[in-house]
Structure 1
């Protein structure tokens, strides 16, 4: 990101040079809009979903819920807009305190994540297969691991997709995905429950779908991270506002490239979004979507969320009927009962648009969830990794089990899942 003061100085130098050469200056007429730098703030008074939506519609990214309001990541113009709404906004919060960049139990880098997936695939060749779903904007592999008993065969089994680290700074999410891989591969053959899940499902895990952003965020010598959220094209696109379903429809994303919730120039304009969407499309076999369950792992609000995010209506004719909503809600509450998170429809937090969950359900009717992990910040100390990922191990397995027939949660498997 270019510092705005440096940009102004550069423009002044260029303009002076042009005048000295006898060339008319166009700096004032054609200069690009200044790039604004994001900071973290506390917004007091935004307690309800409607008030949080007002804040989010300025383009600010809501990071944490507080008893007195919310903590946000926002650029100066968004801070000014929030104040105009009548909310109190704090001075910028200090950056996270410096921590060691490496330790015995530290976060996986992009290279280490690849090595971990390679090692698992080599150690468990009968039930795992590494794949490359596509390339990031800067040419990095977006990798995944398929887990199933006959892994080389595309069997007629319920499929599940787990993605993580779509927001670069949410570093704990990749650890949860890698831990889930470890649960399934480590328990296969010794734990009956896990063995049955692997034998009866085809499970795809993509632990780091925003590798460029993650590498940039993690390259920091003075603090845990750069607080970088988006991808690395220009000022960055929020990949979780860039999906095609209801893209930009409802004030749940920003048109400003500087914003943390910038939705991009169009649906799937970000290469990483396109890679994820193309993978989901590739699972349409014989005209039928094979994926039955989808999970997008985020942090740090300790929530279990389900569609829709673009509307506060619980049901939507033709998109989410009463049984669809009841099954989503029942499963969500059950999962939250195991990890202590708060279960709610995504829009109960605030309105969003162009998100993964809305797209996977709205376009393909894949039962879809978001986990917002805990940890207290985007960079919990490495010593907290194990305890935090343990919280959701049971929820991960229960969600996998429901992939065969989510309507089983409301006792309607005969209506919806009969052979």
Structure 2
């Protein structure tokens, strides 16, 4: 064991000495101390128990922190993990060109439920001229692309689930998870009933990369001599005075050019947790929503979501729509506010939704300000301006983990949370309080009757006793053409937070093998939960069918 440890420490020392940067712990007294660290590359990490942030620094920055009175220490494990992850970019991660090509391929394969929408130009493309990086490379320019997933043949006012990723360019796992959500909804439309109704009756909008030109800068590092991707967080704008090159390699390792798009939104812009220094990692831009990536995104979201909130008041309980912005890393689910530690007007519902997401991905749920103070970010803007519940998912525990981690950990953990977000998009502040539906089964009863059973569970939502359950055939219950049936508790009485319910329906009520049923529960406090769907082709063949077939085969055998 001692020999193995010595070998580990030997190679670890070689890695550290070969690289100028390492991860340090910076201990604080109060979370607001973050505002004194804006010149450093502070990561999306806050150990609230031991009260320290993590930052990527070099020797000079580390010594400066000590001179300024900070208690600091090297985090060797985090450093080794970070150094290892830098080699992973070329192991499967897609370039921005490949992401856009794959989006086009998906819409070509599934034209009836998907389409690409160009909602604007990124910074360099908006200039209309050749743009060079501070290092002299010709900056590649990009459109801002979203993919819309919905059944184009069903025309109705559809609630919106908006999923965005890659606003911080180096957080390259997030576009990959976004792409997997696109694949899941398109590839499972024909065989997954919940996916079918989400696509039929709602709109899911996904932006895999809000910051495509910044993503290209990350790629550029991997293509150059070192083979190490640049740690570019911000966009490609260096017209505000910063010309640091390569990104993150000045005497303070947190320096790079560009604007932090997640500090550039117009709601509470310029307040806490953002910097006026163009070289700082949290540089907020010269003016509010100065960057096309933010300006166009805000216009886009304003057109998708109606304004449902009055300043300083709670958004109405029947607000429609929901937004999730994916970042990395820290395994967190965050909700407004970020600019203040005060509770948002819809605090209870926001917390409830965030806590529910955390039951799926097993992250920690907290307000954004609990991580550190931020102003001008996407989720504060979305909720503050539009009243739409908005959340940040901080994925995993590194920016660039081995590519295999996407499919083995990050996507499986976050898929149920993302699907739940889609399921409650119709009225998230209300539906979060109602019971979940699961374990839908079909079985033949007597005669021509089919028994439909389900589990109704309010223990992780409203926490009230189940009071009723409704099943509708063909359409969800908010569509006028639906045929409702009341499902009853199998033990004879609604008296628990978890109930098994059932109903008997004539087989001829199901018009086709692919017709869907929709089930939702209600609790004693009057809260209805999200719908769960199932295909009627799950109905098993009746026993007499198999019995008849057996006799037919037996007769054929005797006649041979």
Q: What TM-score results when the alignment is normalised by the length of structure 2?
A: 0.60
CA contact (8 A) 1:142 1:209 kept: yes
Query: Does the CA-based 8 Å contact 1:129-1:152 persist in structure 2?
Result: no
Corresponding position of 1:63 = 44
Distance 2:327 2:26 in 1: 24
- 1:414 Cα deviation (Å)? 7.0
Is 1:226 the counterpart of 2:230 in the alignment?
yes
Whether 2:418 is the aligned partner of 1:396: answer yes
Q: Which of 87, 90, 113 is matched with 2:99 structurally?
A: 113
Q: Describe the superposition over 1:88-126 as per-residue Cα deviations: whole angstroms up to 9, x where unpaired.
A: 2549968724636544xx111111111111111011111
SS of 1:369's partner is strand
- Spell out, residue by residue over 1:367-397, the C-alpha distance to the aligned partner (whole angstroms, 9 max, x if none): 10000000x3211012222122221000100
Superposition map of 1:248-267 within 5 A: 248-249=270-271, 251-267=272-288
Higher RCO, 1 vs 2 (CA within 8 Å, ≥6 residues apart): 1
Q: Deviations over 1:239-263 (max 9, x none)?
A: 00000000012x2101111100000
- Counterpart-to-counterpart distance in 2, 1:247 and 1:378: 26
Q: How many residues align?
A: 366
Report the equivalent of 1:243.
265
Match of 1:294 in 2: 323
Distance 1:89 1:270 in 2: 36
State yes or no: 1:280 paired with 2:304: no
Q: Is the 8 A contact 2:38 2:280 kept in 1?
A: no
Inter-partner Cα distance in structure 1 for 2:232 and 2:347? 34
Among candidates 21, 25, 31, match of residue 43 of structure 1: 25
Q: Give 2:83's match in structure 1, choosing from 86, 96, 99.
A: 96
Q: Any stretches of 5+ residues in structure 1 without a counterpart?
A: 1-37, 315-319
Q: 1:302 to 1:248 in 2, by over 3 A?
A: same
Return the offset for 1:50.
4.2
Report the CA distance shift for 1:77/1:167 in structure 2 as closer, same or farther (over 3 A): same
Structure-to-structure mapping, 1:12-411, within 5 angstroms: 41-46=23-28, 49-51=31-33, 53-56=34-37, 60-66=41-47, 68=50, 69-73=52-56, 80=64, 84-88=68-72, 90=74, 96-97=83-84, 99=87, 102-103=90-91, 106-139=92-125, 140-150=142-152, 155-219=156-220, 220-221=222-223, 222-234=226-238, 235-249=257-271, 251-283=272-304, 292-314=321-343, 320-321=344-345, 324-374=346-396, 376-387=397-408, 388-407=410-429, 408-410=431-433
How far does the alpha carbon of each residue in 1:23-45 deviate from its partner, in whole angstroms, 9 at most, with x for none? xxxxxxxxxxxxxxx96541342
Match of 2:545 in 1: none
Q: 1:402: how far off?
A: 1.3
CA contact (8 A) 2:334 2:367 kept: yes
The RMSD of aligned alpha carbons is 3.0
TM-score under structure 1 length normalisation: 0.79
1:312-369 deviations in whole A, cap 9, x for unaligned? Answer: 012xxxxx32xx2111111111111111111101011111100000000000001100
1:226 & 1:299 partners in 2: Cα distance?
Answer: 16
Aligned counterparts of 2:321 and 2:354: Cα–Cα separation in 1: 15
Change (3 A) 1:358 1:272: same
Query: Which has a greater percent of strand?
Result: 2
Name which one, 1 or 2, has greater alpha-carbon Rg. 2
Alpha-carbon distance, 1:225 to partner: 1.6
Per the TM alignment, residue 288 of structure 1 is displaced from its structure 2 partner at its CA by 6.6
Task: Indicate if the aligned counterparts of 1:59 and 1:78 stay in contact, CA closer than 8 A.
Answer: no
Q: Which stretch shows the higher mean deviation, 94-103 or 264-273?
A: 94-103
Distance in 2 separating the partners of 1:231 and 1:276:
14
In structure 1, how many angstroms separate the alpha carbons of the residues matched to 2:158 and 2:263? 31
CA distance in 1, matches of 2:328, 2:421: 18
* 364-373 vs 287-296, greater mean Cα deviation: 287-296
Instruction: Tell me how far apart the structure 2 counterparts of residues 276 and 82 of structure 1 sit (CA, whole Å).
Output: 40
Instruction: Give the Cα separation in 1 of the matches to 2:387 and 2:528.
Output: 13
**Cα pair distance change 1:283/1:227, threshold 3 Å:** same
Question: 1:270: Cα distance to partner?
Answer: 1.2
Q: Map Cα deviations across residues 30-79 of structure 1 (whole Å, 9 max, x no partner).
A: xxxxxxxx96541342386345x355555643333457522124697798
